[in-house]
Structure 1
């Protein structure tokens, strides 16, 4: 009787080990799928950020152009010029956010101003 119990116990242990190994493989596949989904969500978030920055710059340019035309009376020219400037600003913002164009560091900007200021003093 004890031999049958021992064999039964060993069979159950083997089945349990096989089932655990199967579940571990399934969990690893699930983790990989979750990781891919997280990367996809990050991509969508970046796409929404970039598109909203671009659209906002164009809308602000158009609105400012409309206001300039309305109050100054330069009817389509203010709108055309500021809409194009908004478009350019939007493209620049998107390129900066995407990392294609580096934004100037504040220290570099101050160093550039100091160099120009000294150059003007030396020349005068």
Structure 2
């Protein structure tokens, strides 16, 4: 086996860097579509509502098992908390999407029909 010099290692490192740059996935992200935004918002709301309802139902069942009758009050309370959490998540997502759109800058102006 032959000795490799520092020049060989530098060339190998440069070749590896070039290959990694060519094979690396592109990190550009397309702007969100209106349909994607609507699906994200509705998913946030529905998921928070379902999680809140499930927690409330589970606690009502658990307390009922031990003889403490809370039905349906904990479920109602946690559904309300779930809706509040869902609205908070939608507001957070809207702020994030608004920041992404603002970072792209203003949209190009369209030419008017009367302009030459």
| TM-score normalized with structure 1 length | 0.46
Instruction: Select the structure that is richer in helix.
Output: 1
Asked which structure has the greater CA Rg, the reply is: 1
Higher relative contact order (CA 8 A, sep 6+): 2
Q: TM-score w.r.t. structure 2 length? A: 0.50
